[in-house]
Chain A
Amino acid sequence: MDLNWSDTQAATRRELRGWLEQNLAEWRAEIGAERSGDTREGFAQQLLWERRLFEAGWSAVAWPEAYGGRDGTLWDWLIFEEEYWRAGAPQRVTQNGIQILAPSIFEHGTQHQKDRLLPRIAAAEDLWCQGWSEPNAGSDLAGVSSRALRVDGGWVLDGQKTWTTRGAFSTHLFGLFRSDPDSERHRGLTYLLVPLDLDGITVRGFGRLDGDEGFAEVFLTEAFLADDAVGTSVVLGEADRGWSVAVSAASTERGLLRSPGRYQATVAGLLDLWAERGGDAALRRRIAAAWMLADAYRLQTLQTVTALLDGVDLGSGASLAKVWWSELDIELHEIALDLLGADAELEGPWSKGHMFALAGPIYAGTNEVQRNIVAERVLGLPR
């Protein structure tokens, strides 16, 4: 047991801290008023930011250098996240590509897919959105009905995806399609990589609870997806066996999508708000409690990463983390709103953050589904 960072890790942290300070200032001077990444204007601003990150080698620290990363480990990723959120840097508009699609490419992709796709993801050249949810398939992902018909030289896609975060601004979609028309549930699904500029694809952005054009519906009508429409095979993993690819991504999304660094930064913001506004003893205890819960997540993550690097599979344990961070995020923001009192209704980072936090127990598999997973697969209760 050793809870010290190595000299190299400490040096990386110092370098990153300096880089973030300087580059955030430069970027903010360049863009003027900063908008949310879930608006068209904000998305464009943040692409400029993403390219700065990439050029300095910070966009995907744990990836091999050959794919645009920094050859780091999961520890470097945790350090990156701590410093990134501490510095007040923006949400990552590349998140779905870097944190959800890429881990599946690393695990299931061919060498050609890795060579072709990963560097473009790291560089924010291809902007991926997640095509999982459909009007009738949310928590019940195996209920997807969008179809992919195998034809000569490609696939013909029909159906509808929805609640697609940043879909209106993205260039590509990764998603599950029913490729075997006679199949049911988890079988007969194919994980496809789809450029959104194909004929037959229409994308319509719409408002999200937090006010922006953050969601999209993607309509697919006889869209022809050529076998190499993304410059390499469009099937990730094997055709008709996309479920296992999607599940591995789901575990990544739940377990590591939201690093402890985010919540530590939110708690630091709460402490600043407390120093500014004050409150009663009960509110002070809630802040202490929130600090403890956020720090418990940090410690649990250190334990999880230690185990992951020892080759232990994160598996269903990821569901525990997902419930914890999503419910913690809401509590942190509710405390902030209570500190703000009547001012809480003003538009601002806390009111916006609160609305965003409320999505946490819904996305990446609702917390009800996560609790079922914990009960059945971690505790072994009967189905």
Chain B
Amino acid sequence: MEKTYYNPADLAKFGSISELQPEMGSKFFDYYGEVFKEGALTAREKSLIALAVAHAVQCPYCIDAYSTDCLEKGADENQMMEAVHVAAAIKGGSALVHGVQMMNKIKEVTM
């Protein structure tokens, strides 16, 4: 057993997930490559979105990968931190908006 659940060296082995299911793995990586190509959004904008999502899903592999990728694509530190704040705002907001549900319930069960 590994001593920790996350090993930084595993990031480079991401491609090996295809070994147990080559067809689906290959389709996933083709799709992944297509998604990150320059399109209606620039590759830099997509990288910043990926960085924000990486924080929202709290994936250390993705945070490592997209911090570097953002730098490589010319994003500056302010843009990167703003992207993380966008993730934080949505995460915080998604918790808080459920407060309405709580208030509904309070109303329902109290006099």
A and B are interacting partners = no
